[in-house]
Amino acid sequence: MQFHKSSLILLLVISGTIFSCRPKQPNITVTPPEKEVFRIPYDTLNDDIASVISGIVPGRTKCTAGIDTLPAWQKFAERMDSGFTYLDTSRFIKMNKWADGEIQGRHDSALLFYPFGGPDFLNANIFYPDASEYLLIGLEPPGKLPPVCTMQPKDVEEYTADIWNSLSDLFLRSYFITGHMIEALKKNEVNGTLPVMAMFIKRRGYRIVAVNDVAIDSSGVLQNADSMKNGKIFSRGVKISFARDTGRYLQSVVYLKADISDEGLKNNPPLKKYLSSLPECRTYLKAASYLMHGKDFSGIRNIIIDKSLTILQDDSGIAYKFFDKNLWDIKLYGKYIRPGKEFSWINETDLAEAYRDTSIKPVPFTLGYNWRTRAINLLYAVRKH
């Protein structure tokens, strides 16, 4: 019995010695296979065309090959680079910094509604860069991208010169004058708002994913126009889908040519139905000609107030008296002065009184009608919950 016990102890010692003498096994970390990230495919042709009219060197598609070597295009590109560098340093950087500190939810994906915005994707995207969709409305025609594939050097020179001319108001004032824009886009080579919006998209660092003509059908639904060849169309427009180089977040801007006065909505019930069915959104209003101060644009004013989570505007948007202070938290910024002779019928005494508050913060950039006097004002309204 003693023998067996000793043997057992010896066996355990030997076994321990044998196992302890084995070389130490390395720690092996198994890396799981990298999950494939879906990347959005770009529309290479339209992206290159947009690059050409933006003063950005295009890709090497056959259609645009060699355009960036043309002296006229190189001069245009230099002017565009200079113009946008000036806007960036004098305005955009300041706007972005201000917005980060003052605008609630500016980086969420909610629809950004910009009636009276025309093709001004630029300012909307600076204030709300991550909106899943931007809805812009104006009176200018939607238009088409230029036929770059068949353009001769002289055509490229004329087209890029017209692009530059169509931007003159924006570079100087930060807004488009509707009459100037309509005249420029009808008379010159630049056909409608599509080229201008595509140019802004490229200048903001995106790539074009798709370009589609859209329209509102008789039931008030926005559809691709190609699917409505046999149906009646009530409002025409264009949709540009775009994404960053990472290709992981698809965004879009829809532009509609539409009369959104009360008379216009009365004569176009599908348009009114479409606007009334919009989801909750964030609204931006700038250089809106004080149209919603009067009775002729009460319908679109009510739609905005009903649908908006927040409203960012200058005094040309919705009159101060129409904001129910029981429903909205309102912050004022900048300096208010009564509009000049072009809008001399506007006299918001209640807004002027509100601006007597000495704690109101300044606006550190120029924007809107008062760019010359620098008496810039902004109102930011947040719906109470």
What angle in degrees, to the nearest 10, is found between the helix axes of 71-87 and 153-166? 20
- pTM, two decimal places: 0.86
Q: What confidence tens digit (pLDDT) does each residue in 19-66 have? A: 344 445 445 444 444 444 457 888 999 999 999 999 999 987 888 888
**Cβ contact 247:40 at 8 Å:** yes
**Cβ contact 138:119 at 8 Å:** yes
- At 155, which helix (H) or strand (E)? helix 153-166
Read off the pLDDT band of 192 (50, 70, 90): confident
Does pLDDT of 262 surpass 90? yes
28: number of Cβ within 10 Å: 5
Q: What confidence tens digit (pLDDT) does each residue in 70-80 have? A: 999 999 999 99
Instruction: Give alpha helix (H) positions in 1-129.
Output: 2-20, 44-52, 71-87, 93-102, 121-127
What 220-228 contacts at long range (C-beta under 8 Å, 24+ apart), as own/partner pairs, is: 220/269, 220/270, 220/271, 220/272, 220/273, 220/274, 220/276, 220/277, 221/274, 222/254, 222/274
Q: What confidence tens digit (pLDDT) does each residue in 302-350 have? A: 999 999 999 999 999 999 999 999 999 999 999 999 998 889 999 999 9
List all residues 6 or more positions away from 74 whose beta carbon is below 8 Å from its beta carbon.
68
Q: Quick one: average pLDDT of 252-265?
A: 98
Amino acid (1-letter code) at residue 103: I
Q: Quick one: average pLDDT of 150-157?
A: 92
Q: How far is CA 242 from the centre of its chain?
A: 10
List all residues 6 or more positions away from 145 whose beta carbon is below 8 Å from its beta carbon.
46, 49, 50, 53, 194, 195, 198, 211
Does pLDDT of 69 surpass 80? yes
Q: Quick one: average pLDDT of 148-164?
A: 89
Helix (H, G, I), strand (E, B) or coil at 154: helix
Structure confidence at residue 227 (pLDDT)? 84
